Structure 1
Amino acid sequence: MTKKNKFTAEFRREAASLVLDNSHTYREACDATGVDENILYRWVAQLRAERSGIMPPGMAVTPDQQRILELEERIRCLEMERDILKKAAALLITDEFKSLP
């Protein structure tokens, strides 16, 4: 039975960049990293997709991309809070005008 290796996202990016950025062949990159050629093909495809801005669901994201996703979610929540507060302030102002003699 084969043991499934766990590689970090950084290792995957480095291995794929050997092919994309350093003009190594797949075989050379596999020999240098000890990774199966089929796995390296997948990692290269993922890195190409990430670089082109395509992020298929379930793909590994870089720490920077993860941070961006977290910040975008935070922005969405803050914008929702702001909108709620604006509406509440508008309601309070209209209630104050109605209560004036």
Structure 2
Amino acid sequence: MNSQRIRQLISEKYPKWHNKPFRLNIDELKKPELVIKDFFSAYSQQNIRVVLKEWCREALMAEECPEMNYYTLYESVDKLIEAIYALYWKRFNPFKKKKNKK
């Protein structure tokens, strides 16, 4: 199933507001990096991979599997988390030397 068909199925199933952030509060919408920092401070990339792999395995083993390709979603979410982690590490790396401003 192609991504356009998946988007169509999802948009038919959910209301329009569901396509916008609704878990973030006002401060988090203004500064999403706060959420990224909190997330990666609480969970390691390894922990996230283990959980995602387990979710994918459970979904694929389920007798009723919706049309969405869970494995493609799993890979996409894993890649997204890697990208966000790279951004997080660049910004909040505790081992990074701070530049002295004079």
State the TM-score, normalizing by the size of structure 2: 0.29
State the TM-score, normalizing by the size of structure 1: 0.29
Give the greater-gyration-radius structure (CA): 1
Q: Which has the higher contact order (CA 8 A, sep 6+)?
A: 2
